[in-house]
Each structure stands twice: as structure tokens, then as C-alpha cells.
Amino acid sequence: MFDCWRFVLCKKTGRNHHSSRRGSDEAEKEEGDPQIDVPDVLRLVRDPPEGSHSPADEIMHRDITPLCAADIQDQLKKRFAYLSGGRGQDGSPVITFPDYPAFGDVPDKEFQNVMTYLTSIPRCCEPVDASRIFSQKCSNAIKSDFITWTHRGTSDARTDVTLQDAGIGFILVIDRRQDKWTSVKASILRIAASFPANLQLVLVLRPTGFFQRTLSDLAFKFNRDDFKMKVPVIMLSSVPELHGYIDKSQLTEDLGGTLDYCHTRWLYHRTAIESFALMVKQTAQMLQSFGTELAETELPNDVQSTSSVLCEHTEKKDRAKEDMRLALDEGQSILENIREPLAKSGEQSLNQDQLDNQTTVQRLLAQLSETEAAFDEFWAKHQQKLQQCLQLRHFEQDFREVKASLDTLAQKIATFTDVGNSLAHAGHLLKDLASFEEKSSASVERARALSLEGEKLIDSKHYAVDSIRPKCHELQHLCDQFAAEVERRRGLLSKSLELHGLLEASMRWCDEGIYLLASQPVDKCQSQDGAEAALQEIEKFLETGAENKIQELNKIYQDYESILTKDLMEHVQKVFQKQEGMEEMFHRRQASLKKLAAKQTRPVQPVAPRPEALTKSPCPSPGSRRGSENSSEGSALRRGPYRRAKSEMSESRQGRSSSTGDEEESLAILRRHVMNELLDTERVYVEELLCVLEGYAAELDNPLMAHLVSPGLQNKKDVLFGNMEEIYHFHNRIFLRELEDYAGCPELVGRCFLERMEEFQIYEKYCQNKPRSESLWRQCSDCPFFQECQRKLDHKLSLDSYLLKPVQRITKYQLLLKEMLKYSKSCEGAEDLQEALSSILGILKAVNDSMHLIAITGYDGNLSDLGKLLMQGSFSVWTDHKKGHTKVKDLARFKPMQRHLFLHEKAVLFCKKREENGEGYEKAPSYSYKQSLNMAAVGITENVKGDVRKFEIWYNAREEVYIVQAPSPEIKAAWVSEIRKVLTSQLQACREASQHRVLEQSQSLPLPAPPSTSPSKGSTRNIKKLEERKTDPLSLEGYVSSTSLPKPPEKGRASPTSPDKKAKRHEVKSDPTPFGLRGWSKTSQPSEAPEDNDGWSSAEELINSSDAEEEGRVGARKLVPGKYTVVTGDEKESPDALAVRSGDVVEVVHEGDEGLWYVRNLTSSKESWVPASSLSTLLSTSGSAQCLSSSVW
């Protein structure tokens, strides 16, 4: 008998008690999930037995373990009893006990197991009652949704399932024909004692031997009561007698029957069926466990978790489906094996036991198929719920992203409060709004598409309708609100554009009118035809005012109230005032021209004017002279009375005064015209800078444009745009506003430039970066990023044109200032305008110089340490230098070297100019550094004989002399003047420092005191002379000498050069060590030495032919306090306290008594009194007076 099991698909309604719990009320409110159905639960429950059972039976069978063929397979193989499948006449199953000699040796346990198993197999073939299908654990399940299936297994206590078989009872056939009575008796007693089922009949084939047959008859009669069997036991003598009780077709061949029975095949079938039944049961239990897991699964709160759960459950479902498929294949294989006899022979039929096996397998297969169908239905609902959950999470995630994007757009559109301060600005803002709308259209379209997607979810009967519908409504509201705000902003900007267009038209009309007034020549207006022509021009121009001028100010306020800010209202008022002022000027000019046109239409009569009347009329202007001519002509014609002529002369004087006023008015108009151009171009310039910064620079940081940026352009924004942002902020926040403040007084605009002149230094930084910027632009100009930005900005010109705007602007200022100064020469601010123009030109020069300065290559130091760059230019240079007392000359005598000189405050640099091949700034030359001279050790000779363009720069007391030839005398004069300024400033600084030291030392020096002299008086006298020299700024003895020293006679010449042939010269020499920079000498690059030597020529002839080289002896000059370079050093001849060497610098402080001079060695810091003769020997020799370099203090 078999246990019956049921696979029930349970449904529960109400809120899911397995659903995910929210961490907070806010999260639960945000999710807003409606109540959803609990996933269906598959439950495997055991059918209650068909009959009622007492509690005792349940207790008795509670712990009985079911038996399977596989468990007692070895015992069944002994075949001491088998179930052949035969049936009695009433359908009772037949159990056969064949002749088994060792039957008595079978253990009781094995016998009991076999009997229990054999009696549990037969069962009734009626279907199971399916009316009781509900589990006590699924009280709320929907009764119509179920699957009932029966699992048949083996068990010791399965009689409660096969009650029908048990009620009919079994027929036992005991074959003991070859045995003894004792064996028969033992078999019957054993069966009677341990047969587990009901018996209907026991048929015993007694032994066939005569003695045993007789003995069994007698013994059976006397021992019947010992068997204690409630069923009849019939002793049969032969097989035919057996056929009387059981049909031959229900008996096996060994009992004379025709029933086909194979014990091995039977055992295989039983093992396979039971294994299949166990597989079906395990599959059902697995499905029950899986269904419970699915039912208790929490719905995830995010997309990733939901996708993971869906994938995980799908994989488990596929594995369960695979297990069911294997079970179905196994059942089909068993069923085919059972039906194999029928497949071999169509005449053969299955016995009842085989039919029972076939029915069992078919029932299991049917129930397994129904189970699979129920699971598929359950899975479809569960999968739909997970997919809907995934759709919901996707919708919620997209909703959060879209809502954040719409909120960002709303915040950005809220910042669009500016309506523009000019027509160009308003147009730019309108373009920005259109660009912003285009960029935001993707977000808006996504929001609307998401709303439509939500509506589709609602139409598909999604379980979370209450959560989806509010979000769809919110998206629609946000999109409509954003679109409405964009339209409102567009309307405001359109009005602003319209208003600024009207204002610009009015201003343009006013400017044209002012220009018309200024362009009318006053002298031509004095004639009737000229006055009438000018009058017609004015009247014709005034007719155009209906289209261009502002008619009513109040109407402007009413029509454009929504956009009128305080600044815009002031602008409207200024434009209206300008318009009224211009109209007033026109009316005055019109009235004046009408008088001039009408005064000559009266008849003129000859009169005799009085001479004194003519002398009283001054003639300061062309108009007054014209009036005098008219009066003379009237006198000659003598037509009209005297009073008419007097009236004519009075009007003529009025015309002359009005002529002067008209000229001033014309200049004022022209100044306003220049100011308007300055303001308009400044506004356009600021707008263009903003456009570049927002349209290009800011887009480099935009993640949406990152894919268009080439690798070479990444992280190069500072290189490409330089400090353009700094320039924009200066002009937008400061300079433009201050210029607007001077709109009413254009002649004073120079003050605005002067106040902000330091800020204009930012252009120098921009220009210095321009070569790098242009180089980067040429490398990346084809980048799609620039093309896309240009398309969005609707620019006709590429970015490089806009990067040139700051350079063009700084040069534009000086042109506008020149124009303003031209019309403001007699005004109050003319001096400021001139100073502003000079400052702007200075900035341009500094920018130009800096561009050359950054092109210097090969200089090891820091150029900024050299001080301000004063001048730079290209020159032809010759040189000669000395080593010791021998002059070294270059081989190439006449060929100069081309050098580019850079004059700094502290040094002058010699560089070689190299032309570069390229475009733009790459074509600009570069400068290879050659050497530098410290300005502290530099002197100059202003005039060199032979060429007015040449001058000398000499170094270290003429140890090195550089003859420099400028392109023109003017350039030479500028350079000499600038060098003199540098040396003079250094000299002045040294004088002040030395004066302080001399005054201190003159009071504390240990001087000898002979009785006949007073050294302090001589010292005081010398100091007084020294002070007198210092007070004269033009007396630079030792630095500047008006005449040169006499040249010694050469061999073969009779006399020295006569004085009348001497040329004047000026030598400017700075103190070698005023700032302690004695050790800083020129530096050069060794690698350039061969090239330098090739180009330098000897300056011997140039020097010899120049007045600068006339020599003399220092002994011919009187010693004066100052600094000197020791030419001849001799430690033996010098005092012990003051040892000097050639090249040392000494300072002669003052003269004492007895020819002693107080000297300080600046090199060794020692000081002492030195005789004048010894001092002359140290400082000069007969042939090297030119090496003496003194500094008078």
C-alpha cells in the first residue's frame, strides 16, 4: 500500500508579510508601495487515509519504517515466497511459496520483511478521492487552485492505505510436494504466526510420497487446532486439484499454469518503480522548499539587488525544471520497460501485477506533469512580480535622476535674471537662453518619456500603481513649469532686445545728428546758399526722428515695466536726455541757419559807413574777416542807408561770435563721438571676452564635451587662454563702469586711464603667454571641440581671432586717446589725456620689450634680477680688449658683429639675433645670449670719430671697449641718454653714501700735527671744494670730461697734435664698486666663442682716429679726492701699512700737510697716509694714463 501526497498551490491576499521592511517612515512614504499579493506557496501535504483511523492505529504505525525492494533485495532474491501477479476467482492476490528446502533456515526477520513487503504491494485500482485537498497549514488557500498527486512507497504500516486489498485477503499457495510433513507443518505454523495481512485461503500441495502423503493426512486431521488459523487450510494432493481453486492462467508454469513470471524482471520493476516514486517525492519536496523560499523573499529596494534576485531565482527555477525533466524521462523509461512484452508480441497480455505497475507509473507521470504545470503557473506569477519590482526600481531610479536634473535646470533658469545692458548683451543672453534650452531639451524629453513609461506601467496593471501615478504627475508638472519659465524668460529678453534696439537706434540717431552738426562747415554756412543747404540737411534729418527717437518716456515705462531695472531705467533716462539735448542743439542750429539764410534776402542800399565803425569791429576769426569784406563791398556800392549797414555789421558780429561757439560745440560733439566709440567698443570687448570664457574655456571642463577634447588639449586651458579671465574681470567690474562715469565729460577720461594704469600691466602677462597659446592653437585647431563650440556660439570667426582681441584692444586705447586729445587741447583734462597716452604707449613698449625678453635663450641667471628693461635694439658692434698691458686685436678688422642689446638697470646684455621659420609668433626671432656687462663697471664715450651713429661702451677701466653703431643718430642719442641716466643715478647713490663716510672720517682720522701747519684746515678746504662739486649736477669729474688729455708725441713726429684739432668727448664711467659688485664681470658661452671671434674686428684705427683715445699723463693733473685704480703695484715701495697691487681700487680721502694724502685701499680695507709722489707712481705710468679712472666725490 502507498502513502498519498498532495501538491497544493496556495494563495494568500493582503499585504506581504515577507516584503522588505523600510528603515524609516520617510523611506516607506517615498516608496509608497501598495498592498500586494503574497506569492503563491506550493505545499506538499500527505493525504489523510481513506478510512477513519483510531488514535491507537496512528500511534502504532507512527514509528514504522517503510520497506523498499532495494532494502531487502538480497532477501527477495532467495525466492522462498513471491507475488506472481496471479489472482483468485474473487480477485484475491496469490502469494506462492515454492519448494524451498532451506525454508526452515530462513531467519524470522527476513521472513517477516518479505511477507510485509509482498502484502504491501497489491492495491485497488480505483482512483484516489480528490475531495480532501486542503492542507491545515494553508487555511486561507484558494480551494480551486490545487494539484493532487499520489506517491506510492513501501512501508510496514501501509495496510491503512490498501484496505481494499486487506479486506479481500490473500491466497497462499504452499508447494511442498518434494518435502516432508514436518516441513509442511513448520511452514504452516510459521505463516500462521507471522503473516502480516488477512488470509482468505491457504492451499497446500502435500508431499507426493506415499508414506509422507498418508502421514500428512493423519497428522493434519489431528493437529488442525494447532495451526490457529481463521481461514481454511486445504491440503491438495496434486496440481489438478489446485486448478480447481485457482485458474491455470493465474498460476505459474511450475504449478501447471500459463502465467509468464520472471522473478528477476519482477524485482527490477519493483526497484525501478520505487526509485521513481522516491524521485517524484523528493522533487515535490524540493519544489515545496523552493516555493517557500520564493514566497519569503524580500522585495529589494534597488535595481541591482532586484536584478540579482531575479537572476538567482531564474537559475534555481531552471535547475528545478531540469530535475523534473529527468524524473519524467526516468518514468517514461520504466513505463516502456513494463510494456516491453506487449511490444514484442501483440498476443501477449500483462498480468494484474504488471498492470498495477503500469498504472502506478502512469499515475506518477501524470501527477509529475501536473506538478510541473502548477509550478510553471506559480513561477510565472512570481517572475511577473519580480519583473514588475525591477521595472518599479528602474522607474524610481530614473525618476530620481530626472527630477534632480530638472531641479538643476530650474535652479539655472532662476539665475537668468539679467536682461542685458546693451543690444549685444541682450542678444547674447537670448542666444544663451536658446543654447540652454537646447542643452536642457534632452533632460526634458527624458522626463516626458519617463512619464509615458510610467503610464504604460499603470496600464499593464502594475502592483505599485499608487506609487507610480504621483511621480508621473510630478514629472509632467516639472516639465510644464520649466517650459513656462523658459518662455517667460524668452519674452523678457525679447522685450529687452526690443528696448535696447530702440535705445541703440535713438543713440545712433543722436550720434548721426551730432556728427551732422559737427561736419557742417561754419564758413560755408555764412552764405545764403550754404545756410539753406545746411538747413535742408537738418530738416531732412529731423524727419527721420519719427522712426528712431523715443517719442514718449512714460510709454516706454509702461510697455517695458517688466524688464526695467534701476540701471536700465537710468540708461533710458540718459538716452532720452541725450536725445532732447541733441534736438535742442538742432533747433538752435536751425534757428541760426534760418537767420543766416534770411538776412541776405533784404535789399541792400549803398551807404557811407564811418571808418570808426569799422575799426571797432575786431577780426579774430575767418567769419569776422568775411563780415568786414561784406561791409567794404557795401561801402563801395553805396547802396542803402547807414542804419541798414550798421544793422548788417551788428549781425555780422553776432555771426562771428556764434562761429566761435559753433567750433567749440563741434569739438564737444566730436569728443562725445570719440567717447561713444570708446564705450561701445569697450562693451563689445567685454561681451566678446565673456563669450570666449563661457563658450570655450568653461566648456573644456564640461564632462559632456570631454569626448571632443583632444589629448594634447587636456589640462592646457591656462596655456590657451592665459589670464583672459583676469582681464575680463578687470574690464567688466571696474574699467567699463568707471568709463561710463566719464560719459558726460569725455575730456576728463584721461584720469580714468591714469587711475587704472597699474591694472593694465596684466596685458603684459597675456602677451608674454601669446606665443605658447598660438603654438597650442596650431596643434589643436582641427579639434572637433572648437568646431562644436563655434557652432553653438554661431561665430563666423574661429577662436584664434578672439584670442587676439586683448592685444588689439590695448593698442586701440592709444588711438582713441590720440583722437580725444586732438579735440581737447584747450580743455581742462588735456594734460591728463597726454599723460594717459604716454602711459599707454609706455605699456605697449614694455609689452613689446617683454616679448623680446622672453625670446632670450642661454642665459643662466634670472633676468628679473637685472632690474627693469629700459631699452632693446639691434646694433653693429666692434670690440677690443686688453690682457695685462698688451692690447689684443681680433683678426677680422672691418667686419662688425650684429648684436641685439638689452639695457637693464643693472646690466647690459649682448645677444645674437636668430630669425625663426614659422607662422605668427613662431616666426618671431629668438636671441642667443652671448655676454653681459655689469652697469656698475661700465663707462661710455658718447662721440666716436668717423660716424655720428657710433658710441663706445667700455668696461673695467677700458680693459674691454665695445664700439656700438646704431641704425640712426636718433636711436644713438636715445641710448646714450638712457645709459647716462642709469650711470648718473648710480653715481648719485654712491655720492650720498661716500659723503656720509667722508664727514665721519674727517672728524676722527689720526692726522700728524706739525707746529707750523693745520691739517684740519686743509682738509676742511678740500671737503668744501668737494661739496661744491657735488652740488653741481653737471660736474661729473672722472665720469664726464669736457676735454680729453693731450696725446704724447709719437716717434718720427715733430710735435704733438695741436689743440685746435682736438674733438670734444664725454666719457661716462660709473664707480666699479659702488654696490659691492666688483666681482661681477662679464660672462659668455664657451660654445659661442669661435663664432664671436670670427666676427669681431680691431678697433685700433677707430680708436686712433677718435678723439676719445688721446692720452696724457696723470702727473699733469692735480690729485683730487676720489677713487682710483692702481696701475703699478709695488709692495716694497709702498708703506707697510698700505700694501697695494695692480688693479686694486683705492680711495684718496683728503690731503694733509707735507704732501701726504690719506688713502684707503678698498680692496684690502686698509688705510694710511701716503706721500703724493708715491701715490702718483702707484696710480699712473708714463704710457698708460688712459687707464686712470677716478671718481670725484
Strand order in the sheet with 5-12: 38-46, 5-12, 147-148
- Angle CA(549)–CA(554)–CA(555) in degrees, nearest 5? 65
pLDDT band at 378 (very low <50, low <70, confident <90, very high): confident
Instruction: Report the alpha-carbon distance of residue 243 to residue 236 in Å, rounded.
Output: 10
Count the alpha carbons within 13 Å of 1134 in the hemisphere toward its beta carbon.
23
| Closest to 665 in 3D by CA, of 548, 531, 516 | 516
Q: Is the pLDDT of residue 1075 over 80?
A: no
**1168: β partners:** 1159
Cα–Cα dist 88/764, whole Å: 124
Q: Please report, for residues 286, 323, 364, 1112, the alpha-carbon distance to residue 279 in angstroms, rounded to integers and kept in the order given.
A: 10, 9, 10, 134
CATH superfamily for 5-33+35-258 is: CRAL-TRIO lipid binding domain (3.40.525.10)
Averaged pLDDT for residues 146-159: 34
Chain-wide mean pLDDT for the chain? 73
By CB neighbour count within 10 A (0-12 exposed, 13-18 middle, 19+ buried), where does 375 fall? buried
Contact 594, 539 (CB under 8 A): no
Burial zone of 759 (CB within 10 Å; 0-12 exposed, 13-18 middle, 19+ buried):
middle
Sole residue written with cell 531540469: 322
913: which strand partners?
927
Closest to 507 in 3D by CA, of 677, 731, 287: 677
What does the pLDDT read at residue 682?
A: 93
Per-residue pLDDT tens digits for 58-101: 333 334 567 788 888 888 888 889 888 888 888 889 999 998 88
Residue range 322-346: average pLDDT? 83
Residue 225 pLDDT: 57
Cα separation of the two ends of the chain:
140
**572/503 Cα distance (integer angstroms):** 7
CA distance 552 to 1048: 95
- If DSSP states are collapsed to H, E and C, what string results for 224-278? HHHHCCCCCEEEECCHHHHHHHCCHHHCEHHHCCCECCCHHHHHHHHHHHHHHHH
Q: Return the percentage of the chain with pLDDT > 90, whole number.
A: 17
What span, in angstroms and rounded, lies between the C-alpha atoms of 94 and 86? 5
For residue 1046, give the C-alpha cell.
Answer: 693731450
> Using an 8 Å Cβ cutoff, are 154 and 109 in contact?
no
Q: Which amino acid is at 734?
A: I
pLDDT of 1110 above 60: no
What is the number of alpha carbons within 13 Å of residue 739 lying toward its C-beta?
A: 22
Distance of CA 752 to the CA centre of its chain: 38
- Contact between 148 and 106 under an 8 Å Cβ cutoff? The reply is no
Average pLDDT over residues 1018-1043: 37
Q: Does domain 412-497 have CATH number 1.20.58?
A: yes
Q: Is residue 313's pLDDT more than 60?
A: yes
Which pLDDT does position 159 carry in this prediction?
34
Give the span between the Cα atoms of 469 and 31, in whole angstroms: 12
Domain locations in the chain? Answer: 5-33+35-258, 412-497, 681-854, 861-983+1039-1045+1061-1110
Apex 638 CA angle, 636 and 641, nearest 5:
140
Separation CA 1172–CA 1158 (nearest Å): 10
Question: Tens digits of per-residue pLDDT, 100-142?
Answer: 888 888 888 888 888 888 888 865 433 333 233 223 333 333 2
Q: Read out DSSP for 337-396?
A: HHTHHHHH-SS----HHHHHHHHHHHHHHHHHHHHHHHHHHHHHHHHHHHHHHHHHHHHH
Pairing of strands 856-857, 233-236: unpaired
If one compares 1077 and 249, the residue with the highest pLDDT of the two is 249
| Per-residue pLDDT at 14 | 38
> Measuring CA to CA, how many Å separate 783 from each of 182, 407, 776?
115, 33, 11
- Calculate mean pLDDT across residues 501-511: 85
Query: Can you give the pLDDT at residue 23?
Result: 40
**What span, in angstroms and rounded, lies between the C-alpha atoms of 728 and 722?**
12
**Lowest mean pLDDT: which of 108-117, 194-203, 1011-1020?**
1011-1020
Strands annotated E in 162-209: 170-175, 199-205
* CATH class name, domain 861-983+1039-1045+1061-1110: mainly beta
934-989 pLDDT, tens per residue? 988 888 898 888 889 999 998 887 888 999 999 999 999 999 999 999 988 888 88
* Cβ 1148 vs Cβ 1159: under 8 Å: yes
Q: In the predicted model, is pLDDT for residue 721 greater than 90?
A: yes
Residue 182 has pLDDT above 50, yes or no: yes
Q: What architecture is the 681-854 domain classified under in CATH?
A: Up-down Bundle (1.20)
Lowest mean pLDDT among 603-612, 882-891, 1094-1103: 1094-1103
CA distance 669 to 589: 13
Mean pLDDT of 1065-1076: 37
Measured in whole angstroms, the distance separating CA 678 from the mean position of its chain's CA atoms is 37
Q: Using CB atoms within 10 A of its CB, is residue 221 exposed (0-12), middle (13-18) or buried (19+)?
A: exposed
Instruction: Check pLDDT > 90 for residue 324.
Output: no
83 neighbors 98 (Cβ within 8 angstroms): no
Sheet hosting strand 1145-1151, strand order edge to edge:
1166-1171, 1156-1161, 1145-1151, 1122-1125, 1191-1192
Structure letter (DSSP) for residue 696: I
Give the model confidence (pLDDT) of 394-448 as tens digits.
999 999 999 999 999 999 888 888 888 778 888 888 888 898 999 899 999 999 9
On the question of pLDDT at 204 being above 80, the answer is yes
**pLDDT at site 953:** 92
Q: Is the pLDDT of residue 1011 over 80?
A: no
Strand partners, 907: 934
User: Between residues 2 and 235, which one has the greater pLDDT?
Assistant: 235
d(CA 782, CA 800): 12
Q: Read off the pLDDT of each residue in 1036-1046 and give the average, rounded to a whole number.
A: 35
The mean pLDDT of 276-284, rounded to a whole number, is: 86
- Cβ pair 780, 682 in contact under 8 A: no
Contacts of 816 (CB under 8 A, 6+ apart): 674, 677, 678
CA angle at residue 1184 from 1183 to 1190, to 5 degrees? 145
Which of 589-593, 1018-1022, 1044-1048 is modeled with the greatest confidence? 589-593
pLDDT for 210: 61
Q: pLDDT value at position 661?
A: 62
Q: How far is Cα 684 from Cα 676, in angstroms, rounded to an integer?
A: 12
How far is it, in rounded angstroms, from Cα 532 to Cα 1094? 78
Q: Which of 400-404, 522-526, 666-670, 1022-1026 has the lowest average pLDDT?
A: 1022-1026
Q: What band does 692 get if pLDDT is binned at 50, 70 and 90?
A: very high
**DSSP state letters, 516-578:** HHHHS-HHHHTSHHHHHHHHHHHHHHHHTHHHHS---HHHHHHHTTTT--HHHHHHHHHHHHH
In whole angstroms, give the CA distance from residue 997 to residue 350.
Answer: 144
Q: Parallel, antiparallel, or unpaired: how do β-strands 897-904 and 907-914 relate? A: antiparallel
Per residue in 569-625, pLDDT tens? 888 888 888 888 888 888 888 888 888 777 554 454 444 444 443 333 333 333 333
Identify the three-state secondary structure at position 1127: coil
C-alpha cell at 838: 604716454
Name the DSSP class of 145. Answer: S
Compute the C-alpha angle 623/629/635, nearest 5°: 140
Q: How far is CA 1075 from the centre of its chain?
A: 52
Total residue length of the chain: 1193
Q: Which among 600-604, 660-664, 1149-1153 has the top mean pLDDT?
A: 1149-1153
The residue type found at 167 is G
Name the more confident of 330 and 1043. Answer: 330
Percent of the chain with pLDDT over 70: 68
Neighbours of 701 (CB within 10 A): 10
- Residue 229 confidence (pLDDT): 60
pLDDT at 65: 60
Q: Exposed, middle or buried by CB within 10 Å (0-12, 13-18, 19+), for 151?
A: buried
| 82, 258, 362, 440 from 265: Cα distances, Å | 12, 17, 19, 81
Which pLDDT belongs to residue 161?
Answer: 41
Instruction: Give the burial class of 580: count Cβ atoms within 10 A of its Cβ; 0-12 exposed, 13-18 middle, 19 or more buried.
Output: middle
**HSE of 941, CA atoms in CB hemisphere, 13 A:** 31
